[in-house]
Amino acid sequence: MKVKQSYEEFTKRRAQVIAIAMTAPPLMTVWLKENPLPFPIFSDPELKAYRAFGLQKTSLLKLLNPLVIGRYVKQIFEGGKIRRILPGEDPLQLGGDFLVTQAKTLIASWTSSDPTRQPELFTILSLLDQLTKPE
């Protein structure tokens, strides 16, 4: 996750990051010991938050699309790693990224039916710069 490596860019802009995963708390605790994060992460094992934010599942057919597999391979070569699917997690559940104001208003969102698609960090940071720019 590039956000983890670039977290300082968020704090410099007086912004925060919150991660949400479908991992149940006991497994989350174990996972965090191996993969500590500089920002909070919360569990949504019943996927209620995922659904409330409009995040759906992909299909096995879409997941096994050669283009998707190619992007996974590319991301692995670029230093990404596939996190193993923990018990209770759904490998077909799609993620997403939502940028919100302090007032909880949505500024931008990035969702895709392709699990390898992620927003460019530059785009997110540019939006934050516009939010915090003095008038």
Partner 1 sequence: MSLRVGDTIPDVTLLDPSGREIKLFEQIHQPTLIVFLRHLM
Q: List residues near partner 1 by CB under 8 A.
A: 1, 3, 10, 13-22, 24-26, 28-29, 32, 35, 40-45, 48-55, 72, 75, 80-83, 85, 89, 91, 94-109, 115-116, 118, 124, 128, 131-132
Give me the least distance between CB of 46 and partner 1, in Å please.
Answer: 10
Give me the least distance between CB of 14 and partner 1, in Å please.
Answer: 6
Question: Cβ–Cβ contacts within 10 Å for residue 36, how many?
Answer: 8
Angstrom distance (rounded) from CA 39 to CA 17: 6
What phi and psi values does residue 58 have, to the nearest 5 degrees? -95, -175
Angstrom distance (rounded) from CA 49 to CA 19: 12
Give me the least distance between CB of 116 and partner 1, in Å please.
Answer: 7
- What 3-state class would DSSP assign to 93? strand
Nearer to partner 1, 60 or 106 (CB): 106
